[in-house]
Amino acid sequence: MRIPLLALVTALTLVSCAAPDAVESPAGGGATTTALARDDAAAALLPDAIKTAGKVRVASGVSFPPMEFFAEDNKTVLGFDADLGAALGQVLGVPFEFQNTNFDGIIGGLNANRYDLALTSMIDKKARQETVDFVDYLNSGVTFMVVKGNKEGLKQKQDLCGRKVAVEKSATGDLTADDIAKECKLTKLPFPDQASAVQALQSGRADAVLALDLTLAYNVKQSPDAFEIASKPFGTLPVGIPIPKNNPKLRDAVQAALKKVIESGTYDALLAKWNLTDQALKDAPLNQGT
């Protein structure tokens, strides 16, 4: 069912206003039609703190469809990351409890032990690897979206010079805008969440939204009469699950669980459900970002 643009933006704006509290993940493994069995070898790798707590605290900026977004109840988290978290939790025998927060505070929250890991479409970058390890699980790229019709004829990243570009603060679009600004002047408009960046484009405050192709493609699919993708992605980047470097046991447990999810066929099923098959990264590597 196609979601009207105003309804989509309104719903995601409500998400962005939510406090960073625990929210509900899909029960029973999200999109998995058959529950995955607990894998004793993977579960044994979990750190004692996780075993004692009986859950994994997951940070997520829940305004980034189709990866993570709220259902109509503004409480249940839906999306590929939510379904993947449910599947990982089944394999490890502990639920993944999503906690909504702004993207730019996630790395700090991980290192302050407010969260155990994040499922939030975070690009694995060398700079981020200074404090976290990544278990990589998707490929993506950065591109930009404009209002349908593209009256300004924006087609490549250099065309953003002299333009107002909306980005989610500290996300990959934000970092990419900084890189472009080294070559030419543009006006970067940072927002606390992706929904607000899209709203800025819709309202005419921005000329383009710069972000990962997987979320912009979703925006266009939901509102094809309002938006269009203007450029091919700028290269390929790994999307990963960040885990604090001081918690290698959890890193290894999550990597082992992800490999089981991939082997079971559940990973492919989730990719197909969320139209992300082209983003597949099937060997669960660590720290592939540059």
CATH number at residue 83: 3.40.190.10
Tokens of 234: 């700028």
* Average of per-residue pLDDT values in the chain: 91
29 and 82 in contact (C-beta within 8 Å)? no
Q: Are residues 24 and 105 in the same domain?
A: yes
Res. 22 pLDDT band, cuts 50 70 90: low
Q: Is the pLDDT of residue 164 over 50?
A: yes
User: Tens of pLDDT along 77-126?
Assistant: 999 999 999 999 999 999 999 999 999 999 999 999 999 999 999 999 99
Residue 136 domain flag: yes
Residues 13, 80, single domain; the answer is: yes
| 151 and 221 in a common domain | yes
| pLDDT (mean) for 232-241 | 94
Same domain, 247 and 205: no
| Residue 200 included in any domain | yes
Asked, for residue 66, whether it belongs to a domain, the answer is yes
Residue 26 lies in a domain: yes
Same domain for 86 and 217, yes or no, is no
* Same domain, residue pair 254 and 122: yes
Residue 107 lies inside a defined structural domain of this protein: yes
Residues 17 and 55 in one domain: yes
Q: Are residues 247 and 224 in the same domain?
A: no
Among 108, 107, 88, smallest CA distance to 97 is for: 88
Number of domains in the chain: 2
Q: What pLDDT sits at residue 23?
A: 59
Q: Is the pLDDT of residue 45 over 80?
A: yes
Is residue 156 domain-shared with residue 260, that is, in the same domain? no
Q: Both 254 and 224 in a single domain? A: no
pLDDT above 60 (res 55): yes
Is residue 287 one of the residues assigned to a domain? Answer: no
Interval 278-282 mean pLDDT: 94
| Domain assignment of residue 11, given as a range | 5-140+238-279
Classify residue 77: in a domain, yes or no: yes
State the pTM of this model: 0.86
